[in-house]
Amino acid sequence: MDYPQISHLQMMDRPLAVRCQGVTKTYGQGVAEVAALRGVDLDVSRGELLILMGPSGCGKTTLISIISSVLNADSGQCEVLGHDLRSLGEEEREYFRGHSVGFVFQLFNLLPALTVHENVAVPLLIQGMRYGTAMERSLAVVDAVGLAHRGEALPAQLSIGQQQRVAIARAVVHKPELIVCDEPTSSLDHKTGHEMMNMLRDIVRSEGRTVIVVTHDNRILEFGDRIARMEDGRIVAVDSGSAGERL
């Protein structure tokens, strides 16, 4: 299904999924100190597919790690899905990640000894869902990404494109409000990469999820509602994904 781009004005009318203000993060100390984030300001609307671009080492992965509560910011404010992440204890952060965030990794991170269905069910089992119920939901999501016929296969028996579909199914099976993707098309050819981005965009449009995609891949810019560009630990520009006009 072909979904239209969402305009900047439409985005302004939507509630925010993410609001970062003055976020900083530094690694190391003394002569080894590296400032990864230098006061990042970024808003992401609910139901938006935002693409985060920039050169290696500019802070993209650090930023999405803070937004997904994997890392703590040193300073600044980061509100995600109505939660001030600074106010959450470690158990609350784990619960937030497990229930509200889906992850799609560059190298997929599929468990090699588990079948497709079992890999997709992992987030549900971590939540404490009964095995049978988790597998029922896994079956439905695996079918939705077109891999029902490969449900009992191991990751090593799948193509790269099929492994990426499994990774997406695992990211959405627990119905998270936010999905973060770190270089999801870097190992895919043009056709497969576009198929994967179409799948993500369909999820955004049909289910109202928010997706943040970190990438170096210029081939997928057309899929973003907006494109945030990072340099040296800061957001330096936010462009419209549909018209390419500076907002």
Give the tens place of pLDDT for each residue, 150-163: 999 999 999 988 99
- 8 within some domain: no
Highest mean pLDDT among 3-7, 133-137, 236-240: 133-137
Residue 93 tokens read as: 């952060």
Q: Give the residue, 186 or 209, on which the prediction is more confident.
A: 209
User: Does a structural domain hold residue 24?
Assistant: no
Predicted confidence (pLDDT) per residue in 95-119, tens digit: 999 999 999 987 788 999 999 999 9
Indicate whether 108 belongs to any domain.
yes
Q: Identify the CATH number of the domain in which residue 117 sits.
A: 3.40.50.300
Cα–Cα distance list, 62 to 13, 26, 72, 180, 201 (Å): 28, 10, 10, 12, 24
Bigger pLDDT: 188 or 62? 62
Tell whether 39 is covered by a domain.
no
pLDDT category of residue 196 using cuts at 50, 70 and 90: confident
Residue 167 lies in a domain: yes
Domain count along the chain: 1
> Does the residue 133 lie in any domain?
yes
As a whole number, the mean pLDDT across the chain is 88
> Which range has the worst mean pLDDT, 10-19, 27-36, 106-115?
10-19
Would 245 be classed as within a structural domain? no
62: in domain: yes
pLDDT of amino acid 243: 30
pLDDT at 1 over 50: no
Domain of residue 137 covers 47-72+88-240
Higher pLDDT, 187 or 244: 187
